[in-house]
Amino acid sequence: MTHSIPNKSTDIVIQNLTLRYQNKLLFDQFNMVLPEGKWTVLLGASGIGKSTLLKSIAGLPTGVENKMTSKNIFASDGDPITGRISYMAQQDLLMPWLTVLENCLLGYRMRGQAIGLEQLNQATDLLRQAGLKGLETSKIQILSGGMRQRVSLIRTLLDQKPFVLMDEPFSALDSITRLNIQDLAVKWLRAKTVLMVTHDPLEALRISDRIYILLGQPAQLLEYRMPESALPRQLADTQLLKAQAELLNLLSSNSGSARKFPGVDPEFWPSRNC
């Protein structure tokens, strides 16, 4: 089944962003650009501020002290970001009183949009592709964690927004299901401006156009050069496996020794932000 992408996307710009949690300075004059129509992945150690950054872009409460204004996070076309973002949290945030299909279509209801045959067919087809056929009328309580995460992802894919933020969207899935759902997400989010947080370097390498790594405190941004190949990349690609090893070593080093890794762009090391 084909699907349309009605919204025109544009760059998201993060400029001179400062965020502090208690006595910890997470970001100090932090800069980053999410390019239009590209899938960007953010890697980094737990607690470094990846999820906080996503919530800040989405305009959600972060629980941190900040000096953030609309001049720090904005769209390059000058229009407000508000209302143009789909956000998938680590928690599935599904409504327990709704069925699986109703949860998938929740975005339409919240926007006051009519749900017609086209929307029902899209949701049903996505559930089939995600391995959830036959569960359309089931309540959320009977689903496993991995099933719930797939329903949450489908809700995000159906949201039809130009900017998509996802926080570890495949973390609850087994290895085979994860690969299939990654492929599905790449297909449906093509031409969207995506920022995804993950702890899995191989996942980042498979499905992203750009990889950025957060290192240090306050966090600094480092770009990793991607292999030149179409998405989703194949696991059998030896270049991909070599890049995975480099990223794992880089993440474990968390120091200036990152210069020794050939995939790291020296222009972005150690103190320059994108």
Q: pLDDT at position 236, please? A: 87
User: Would you call 218 helix, strand, or coil by DSSP?
Assistant: coil
Picking from 177, 155, 175, 163, the residue whose alpha carbon sits closest to that of residue 9 is 163
- For the sheet containing 220-224, what is the strand order? 85-88, 163-167, 193-197, 39-44, 210-215, 220-224
**The two three-digit tokens of residue 13, written as one number:** 């710009």
Give mean pLDDT in consecutive 10-residue pieces for the chain, a chain of 274 residues.
Answer: 51 94 90 96 94 93 71 92 94 97 96 95 98 98 98 96 97 96 97 96 95 93 85 89 90 55 42 41
Letter string b/e over residues 235-266, b meaning 16 or more CB atoms within 10 A of that residue's CB: eeeeebeebbebbeebbeebeeebeebebbee
pTM: 0.88
User: Would you call 259 helix, strand, or coil by DSSP?
Assistant: helix
β pairing state of 210-215 and 220-224: antiparallel
Picking from 161, 100, 111, the residue whose alpha carbon sits closest to that of residue 133 is 100
